[in-house]
Amino acid sequence: MPTRLLLGNESLAQGAIDAGLSGAYAYPGTPSTEITAYVLRSHQAAMGNVICAWTANEKTALEAALGMSYGGKRAMASMKHVGLNVAADPFINSAISGCHGGLIVNVADDPSMHSSQNEQDSRVYLDLAMMPCIEPADQQEAYRAPALAFALSETYRIPVMIRLTTRLCHSRATVTVGQPSRRNDFSYPEDPKRFILLPALARKSYAKLLDRQADFIRESEASPFTEYLEGTDFSTGIMACGTAYHYVREIVGDDCPHPILKIGQYPLPNALIERMMSACDRILVFEDGYPYLEGKLRGLPVRTSPTIHGRLTGHLPRTGELNPGHVAKAFGIESPILNAASAVPSPRPPALCPGCPHGDTCNALNAVLRSGDANGRVFSDIGCYTLSAMPPYESVDTCVEMGASITMAKGASQAGLHPAVALIGDSTFTHSGMTGLLDCINENANVTVVIVDNLTIAMTGGQTSSANHRLAEICTGLGVDPAHIRIITPLPNKHDENVEVLQQEIAHTGPSIIIAVRECIQTARRSRPKGGSS
Amino acid sequence: MKRNLILAGVGGQGLLALAAVIGEAARSLKLHVLQAEVHGMAQRGGVVQSHLRYSDQPIHSALVKEGTADLVLSLEPMEALRYMPMLAPGGAVVANVVAFKNIPHYPEEAAIEREIRLLPNYRLINAVDLAKEAGAIQATNMVMLGAGAPFLALPIEALETGIRTVFSDKAEAVIETNLRAFQLGFEASESAR
Ligand SMILES: Cc1ncc(C[n+]2csc(CCOP(=O)(O)OP(=O)(O)O)c2C)c(N)n1
Ligand code: SF4
C-alpha cells in the first residue's frame, strides 16, 4: 500500500475522493482550507469530474452539497467552526429532511484561537441537530472517516458531521492510502416529500429523527473509531475524544494499567461510558475544545460518584488546546526543570505585507478620521485589512464577525454616530455584506462603505473571490446611487485624491460606496491561481 | 532512535518547505513521522513554528513536550530564543544570525547572540551569505537545513532525496541551487563546531 506524508486536512480530502466523492463545496477558513484546496488540485478528482468550488459562504456551500445529495451523489461541505454559525440553518434542518446520497459536513474547530475570534466547540451543535458525528484521532483515521461517514449517512439518510481540530488539520503524518471506490450514479430520493419541511411533514420527519437516536448511539458504540481498552487499575478510568487520545497515549505509554475509552463517534457511546463509570472510582476526561463530554458525565444534579476530573475541575486548563504537558500534569507527572524562558524576544504579531494595498487605504482613512477632532469610527470586517487594527495603522475600531461592518455602521449611525465608515473586503462583501448594504439602501442610512477589493481571499491564502471584479455592478444593482459609487486606486501617489474622495462621500448624506481596487501583492506575485495556503 | 525538533522562523521564510524536506527524508526511511505546522493568519509576517518528531518506534503526539526538544533550528536569531523552555537538557540550537526586522522594537542583536552563546550546544550561521553564494537568497532555508543536519540523525543522502522530492515541480537549476545551499550550510555548521 502506498504511503504519503499528508496533513490531516489532506488525508480527509484524499479519503473522501477515494470514497466516491462527487461534489465538494466550501468557503475558506483556517484551519479547514486545505481540505478543499486539496480536492481542487487533485488530478484524481479532476479525472473523476468531481465538482469542487469555493462558494460565496458556508451556508451556500452546505445547501449545494445537500442538493447534490438529493441527486443521489456523495457530497461534502467544509468550513471552520464559525462557518457553522453561518450554515447553522441548513445544518439543523437537513438533519430533519435527511439526505439521499451520502452527505458530510466537515467542521474544523480552532481551540486556542490560533486564527479565529473564538474557540467554540462544534460538538455543541450536535445537540441541536441530533445528527451523528465522527471525530478522527489522527491522520490515518481522517483518511478513513469519509468512507465511514458516507456509509452511515446513506444507511440512515442523515448528514454526518466530521469534527476536526487545528492540530489534526495542520499536522502531517505518514498515511496509507487505499483503493478508490465507485461514485454513485444520479438518482431521485425514494421519498421526496421528506424534503418539504412544512410543519405537518416536518413533525413526522422530526419524530423519525428522534427514533433514530438509539440507532446512532449503537453505531457510535460499534464504531471502528471507538474503543474500550481494558485495564487492571480501576482507581482511574480515562476517557479521551479524538486527538486527545494520542496525547494520553504519549504520556501513559502502551501498557497503561487504567481502562481507556477512546471516543471517535457521536452521539456519545452511552453503554461504554456507563460501563466505565460503574467500574472506576474516578474518571479523567481529555477532550480538545469545550468540556462537552465532561459536562454530560457530570449531569444535573451534579453526579458525585465516580469523581470526574477534567477541564471543569482545574485538572486541565479550562480554555485552549491540549498538549502533552497538560496531559502529563493531569496524571500527576511532575514536569522536569525547564530552561528559563528568554526575556529577549519581542512579540512578532502578524502584519500587513510591505506594499499591501490595504495599507494605502488605511493611510487615507487615517488622514480623514484619525486627525483633528476624531468623532468618526471605522467598523471593520474580517480579512487581512483587520490587521490594520495594530500599530502602525490603528485604523479600525471593531471586528466582530463576517458581515458585521456595514450593519454595525448602519446601527451606529442611526444611534447618532458620524462619520460611520464600514471597511470590508471583496470576499467578505459577497459572503455576508451585500444583504446588509441592502438594508442601508432601504433605510437611506448615512454610512460610507469602503470595499477593499484586492481581487482575492487573501487572509486564507489567495482563493478565488466570488466578487470577481463586479463590485460596482453589484452595488448598482442593489440600488446605490451610481454617483456615490467611487473607485479609487490605493497607491501612495494617489493618497491626496483618495483622501478627497473619502471626504466627499462622508459629506454625502445617505449610503455611499468607495471601492479601492488593487491586487494583493502575494497573489500578484504568483502567476497562476492557487487553491490554498499550504 | 527518536528526534524531537522545533523549527522556528517568520512567515514567508520558507519554514514549511524546510519541515517538509526533513519529514520526507524520515518517511522515506520508513520512520514514524509527525509534524505540526502553522497555517493561516500567522503566516502574514508573524511567528511561525513547526514541531517535528520522528522515531523508529510509534509516536503519538505531534506536539513536542516542553523540555524535550533535541534541536531548535531557527531561520532567524530572535526566534530561536523564543523556544528555550522547549529545549531538552543538552539540546542544540542552530540559528541563522541574520535578523528579520519587521517589528518596531527589535531587540539589540548583540544581546540575542550573547544569550545564544551562553548555551552549551549552539551553532550560529550566516545563512543569507551562504544562500547568495549558492545562487539564490531564497535558498536560505536549505542552508539552515544543512546547518541542522548534523543533529538530525538522518543520512545526508536521505535529506538530499527529500530536497528533490519536495522541489520536484521546480526546474532542475532550482533544485541544484537548493542542494548547493544545503551542502554549504552543512560544511559551515561542521566547521562552526
Ligand atoms: C464565518 C467565517 N468564515 C470564514 C472565516 C475565515 N476568514 C476570515 S477573513 C476571510 C476572508 C477575507 O477575505 P476578504 O474580505 O476578501 O479580505 P482579504 O483577506 O482578501 O483582505 C476568511 C475566509 C471567518 N473568520 N468567519
Ligand atoms: S496577503 Fe495580500 S492582502 Fe494580505 S496583507 Fe499581504 S498583500 Fe495585503
Domain boundaries, chain B: 2-191
Shortest distance, CA A459 to any CA of chain B (angstroms)? 6
| B44 chain-A contacts, CB cut-off 8 A | 350-353, 384, 387, 459
Q: Are residues A374 and A474 in the same domain?
A: yes
Q: Are residues A28 and A84 in the same domain?
A: yes
| B61 chain-A contacts, CB cut-off 8 A | 246-247, 249-250, 323-324
Q: What integer best gives the mean pLDDT of chain A? A: 96
Cβ within 8 Å, pair A387-B115: no
The arithmetic mean of pLDDT across residues A258-280, rounded, is 98
Instruction: Render A330-391 in DSSP notation, one character per residue.
Output: HTTPPPPPPPPPPS-PPP----PPTT-HHHHHHHHHHHHHSSSS---EEEE-SSGGGGGGST
Please tell me which residue of chain A has the smallest CA distance to B30.
A174
Per-residue pLDDT reduced to its tens digit, A13-39: 999 999 999 999 999 999 999 999 999
Can you give the pLDDT at residue A500? Answer: 98
The arithmetic mean of pLDDT across residues A414-422, rounded, is 97
Q: Are residues A128 and A237 in the same domain?
A: no
The arithmetic mean of pLDDT across residues A45-58, rounded, is 98
Q: Which residues of A74-101 are buried (b: 16+ CB within 10 A; e: fewer)?
A: bbbbbbbbbbbbbbbebbeebbbbbbbb
Helix/strand/coil for A116: coil
pLDDT-derived band of residue A287, with 50, 70 and 90 as boundaries? Answer: very high
**Greatest pairwise CA separation for chain A in angstroms:** 78
Q: Are residues A247 and A393 in the same domain?
A: no
* DSSP state letter for A457: B
The arithmetic mean of pLDDT across residues A468-490, rounded, is 97
Per-residue pLDDT reduced to its tens digit, B123-181: 999 999 999 999 999 999 999 999 999 999 999 999 999 999 999 999 999 999 999 99
Count of domains forming chain A:
3
- CA distance linking residue A319 with residue A289, whole number of Å: 7
Q: Are residues A293 and A385 in the same domain?
A: no
Can you give the pLDDT at residue A371? Answer: 84
pLDDT above 70 as % of chain A: 98
Residue B29 in this model has a pLDDT that exceeds 80: yes
**Is residue A254 in a domain?**
yes
pLDDT-derived band of residue B42, with 50, 70 and 90 as boundaries? Answer: low
Q: Are residues A516 and A397 in the same domain?
A: yes
| A172 chain-B contacts, CB cut-off 8 A | 20, 23, 33-35, 37
Question: Could you tell me the CATH number of the domain that includes residue A493?
Answer: 3.40.50.970
pLDDT-derived band of residue A530, with 50, 70 and 90 as boundaries? Answer: very low
Q: Are residues A105 and A47 in the same domain?
A: yes
Residue A532 in this model has a pLDDT that exceeds 70: no
Can you give the pLDDT at residue A45? Answer: 98
**Is residue A351 in a domain?**
no
pLDDT-derived band of residue B43, with 50, 70 and 90 as boundaries? Answer: confident
Name the strands in the sheet holding A420-425, side by side, starting at the edge strand that comes first in the sequence: A377-380, A420-425, A447-453, A512-517, A485-488
Q: Are residues A184 and A249 in the same domain?
A: no
**Greatest pairwise CA separation for chain B in angstroms:** 45
Can you give the pLDDT at residue A529? Answer: 46
Cβ within 8 Å, pair B46-A349: yes
Per-residue pLDDT reduced to its tens digit, B74-114: 999 999 999 999 999 999 999 999 999 999 899 999 999 99
pLDDT-derived band of residue A531, with 50, 70 and 90 as boundaries? Answer: very low
Residue A472 in this model has a pLDDT that exceeds 80: yes
pLDDT-derived band of residue A527, with 50, 70 and 90 as boundaries? Answer: low
Please tell me which residue of chain A has the smallest CA distance to B50.
A171
Residue A180 in this model has a pLDDT that exceeds 90: yes
All residues at 6 or more sequence positions from A374 whose CB lies less than 8 Å from its CB, including other chains: none
**Final residue of a domain: which of A211, A243, A262?**
A211
All residues at 6 or more sequence positions from A211 whose CB lies less than 8 Å from its CB, including other chains: none
Please tell me which residue of chain B has the smallest CA distance to A462.
B40
pLDDT-derived band of residue A474, with 50, 70 and 90 as boundaries? Answer: very high
Chain B interface disruption, residue of A342, A384, A387, A523, most B CBs within 10 A = A342
- CA distance linking residue A48 with residue A74, whole number of Å: 13
Shortest distance, CA A468 to any CA of chain B (angstroms)? 22
Cβ within 8 Å, pair A30-B41: yes
The arithmetic mean of pLDDT across residues A293-318, rounded, is 92
Cβ within 8 Å, pair A33-B39: yes
* C-beta separation of B67 from B86 below 8 A: yes
Q: State the pTM of this model.
A: 0.96
Cβ within 8 Å, pair A461-B39: yes
Q: Among candidates A145, A59, A41, A56, which has minimal Cα distance to A102?
A: A145
Please name the member of B34, B78, B107 whose beta carbon is closest to the beta carbon of A171: B34
pLDDT-derived band of residue B38, with 50, 70 and 90 as boundaries? Answer: confident
Q: Which domain holds residue A419?
A: 357-524
**Final residue of a domain: which of A211, A243, A260?**
A211
pLDDT above 90 as % of chain A: 93
Cβ within 8 Å, pair A347-B38: no
Q: Are residues A269 and A137 in the same domain?
A: no
- CA distance linking residue B31 with residue A100, whole number of Å: 42
Cα of A490 to ligand 2 centre, how many Å? 13
Cβ within 8 Å, pair B60-A247: yes
Q: Looking at this predicted complex, what is its ipTM?
A: 0.94
Instruction: Render B65-107 in DSSP notation, one character per residue.
Output: PTT-EEEEEESSHHHHHTTGGGEEEEEEEEEE-S----STTPP
Chain B interface disruption, residue of A229, A339, A459, A527, most B CBs within 10 A = A339
pLDDT-derived band of residue A3, with 50, 70 and 90 as boundaries? Answer: confident
Please name the member of A339, A353, A392 whose beta carbon is closest to the beta carbon of B45: A353
Ligand nearest to the CA of A457: 1
Instruction: Render A179-242 in DSSP notation, one character per residue.
Output: ---PPPPP---SSGGGG---HHHHHHHHHHHHHHHHHHHHHHHH-TT-EEE--S-TT-EEEEET
Residue B31 in this model has a pLDDT that exceeds 80: yes
Question: What is the atom index within ligand 1 of the atom nearest the CA of A117?
Answer: 25
Can you give the pLDDT at residue A1? Answer: 74
Q: Are residues A238 and A205 in the same domain?
A: no
Can you give the pLDDT at residue A335? Answer: 76
Per-residue pLDDT reduced to its tens digit, A353-376: 999 999 999 999 999 999 877 799
Can you give the pLDDT at residue B110? Answer: 96
The arithmetic mean of pLDDT across residues A432-459, rounded, is 98
* C-beta separation of A9 from A170 below 8 A: yes
With a Cβ cut-off of 6 Å, ligand 1 is lined by A 27-29, 80, 82-83, 86, 382-385, 402, 425-428, 454, 456-460, 465
Can you give the pLDDT at residue B44? Answer: 81
* C-beta separation of B10 from B46 below 8 A: yes
Q: Which residues of A192-230 are buried (b: 16+ CB within 10 A; e: fewer)?
A: eebbeeeeeeeeebeeebeebeeebbebbbebebbebee
Q: Are residues A398 and A260 in the same domain?
A: no
- CA distance linking residue A18 with residue A34, whole number of Å: 17
Please tell me which residue of chain A has the smallest CA distance to B85.
A339
- CA distance linking residue B190 with residue B27, whole number of Å: 25
Cβ within 8 Å, pair A171-B35: yes
**Is residue A534 in a domain?**
no
Residue B39 in this model has a pLDDT that exceeds 90: no
Helix/strand/coil for A297: helix
**Is residue A344 in a domain?**
no
Count of helices and strands (H, E) across chain A: 21, 19
Chain A interface disruption, residue of B54, B60, B101, most A CBs within 10 A = B60
Topology, domain B2-191: Pyruvate-ferredoxin Oxidoreductase; domain 3 (3.40.920)
| B5 chain-A contacts, CB cut-off 8 A | none
Q: Are residues A54 and A196 in the same domain?
A: yes
